[in-house]
């Protein structure tokens, strides 16, 4: 019993390190998933899952190796993620946010893996396939948030909570970015990425309409433009809170830099006719942007709950 207690104590001290490894692993899983999509390797192992053409290893074929590698890394990541989630769950009384993050992290990984297997065994529509990227983003974000919360270990500095308007704007921004991510994934799976062959105009037009593949590509660009504007306004609003909440200011400025880089990488995608490296850069930047906004939402959420009574920033609004 004494040895078991020591092991559990050691595990609890190391759970934040395990969560960091799991977060890095989820990022790798996400990038590998983008590689599978960008190289058309989704059927690299045929209709077999978890086997690859009836074997536990892939044949010497580029698409099979890419698909098998994605599956293998996802499987290994599962062990790290489950371990981190179990450790985080054990700390749920000390860190209440773990009641949400630990189960959500496991659920999203299982859902992601299940949808991947489902897509291999049975053909899916572009609408369903596009959900896979959004779920991967959520799994990555929850893992990072779990690591951040474990690092803090429930010790939050006393800082005034932002206004309800700022909190709503933060959640609206991440929701809009999710729409951008989903529409981009749908565009890829529906082969509409090059429906607009020029950038920033679409085939030389400001408003080409919303019909067919051009409408899908143009709709994605409009959503991306909306995200740039929304995050820019949020960063400006956060600058008014810079003295009281430098953490929110830094996160939202970082989000603004990332969304601008994301937009630029979208242009590179078109100019390079969807090269593999530009596609991977686009996916990686989206993942980092989503996590940055998710961390901002976590700090807004915990701030509004744990710092109640320590003051408010309600007066610092865009109207000031």
Selected catalytic residue, list 12, 43, 63, 67: 67
Q: What φ, ψ does residue 92 adopt, rounded to 5°?
A: -65, -25
Letter string b/e over residues 125-148, b meaning 16 or more CB atoms within 10 A of that residue's CB? eeeebbbbbbbbbbbbbbbbbbbb
What CA–CA distance (Å, rounded) separates 83 from 22? 9
Alpha carbon distances (Å) from 253 to 16, 103, 167, 284, 300: 26, 30, 16, 18, 15
What CA–CA distance (Å, rounded) separates 29 from 96? 28
67 among known catalytic residues: yes
Say which residues have a Cβ less than 8 Å from residue 10's Cβ, sequence separation at least 6.
Answer: none
What CA–CA distance (Å, rounded) separates 265 from 282? 6
Radius of gyration for the chain, computed over Cα atoms and rounded to the nearest angstrom: 21
Structural tokens at position 120: 């291999």
Active centre residues (catalytic): 67
């Amino acid at each position: 019993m004494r040895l078991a207690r020591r092991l559990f104590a050691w595990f609890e001290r190391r759970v934040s390190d395990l969560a960091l490894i799991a977060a890095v692993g989820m990022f790798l899983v996400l990038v590998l998933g983008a590689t599978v999509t960008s190289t058309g390797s989704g059927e690299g192992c045929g209709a077999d899952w978890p086997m690859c053409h009836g074997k536990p290893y892939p044949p010497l074929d580029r698409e099979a190796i890419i698909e098998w590698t994605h599956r293998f890394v996802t499987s290994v990541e599962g062990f790290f993620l489950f371990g981190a989630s179990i450790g985080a769950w054990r700390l749920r009384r000390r860190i209440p946010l773990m009641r949400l993050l630990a189960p959500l992290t496991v659920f999203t990984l299982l859902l992601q893996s299940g949808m991947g297997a489902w897509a291999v065994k049975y053909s899916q529509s572009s609408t369903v396939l596009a959900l896979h990227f959004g779920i991967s983003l959520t799994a990555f974000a929850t893992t990072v948030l779990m690591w951040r919360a474990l690092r803090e270990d429930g010790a939050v500095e006393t800082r005034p909570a932002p206004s309800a308007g700022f909190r709503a704007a933060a959640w609206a921004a991440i929701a809009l970015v999710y729409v951008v991510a989903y529409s981009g994934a749908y565009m890829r799976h529906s082969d509409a990425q090059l429906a607009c062959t020029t950038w920033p105009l679409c085939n030389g037009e400001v408003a080409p309409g919303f019909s067919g593949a051009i409408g899908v590509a143009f709709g994605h660009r409009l959503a991306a433009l909306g995200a740039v504007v929304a995050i820019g306004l949020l960063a400006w609003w956060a600058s008014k809170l810079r003295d009281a909440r430098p953490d929110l200011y830094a996160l939202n400025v970082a989000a603004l830099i990332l969304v601008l880089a994301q937009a630029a990488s979208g242009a590179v995608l078109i100019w390079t006719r969807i090269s593999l490296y530009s596609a991977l850069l686009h996916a990686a930047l989206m993942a980092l942007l989503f996590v940055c906004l998710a961390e901002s939402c976590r700090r807004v959420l915990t701030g509004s709950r744990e710092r109640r009574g320590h003051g408010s920033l309600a007066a610092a609004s865009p109207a000031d």
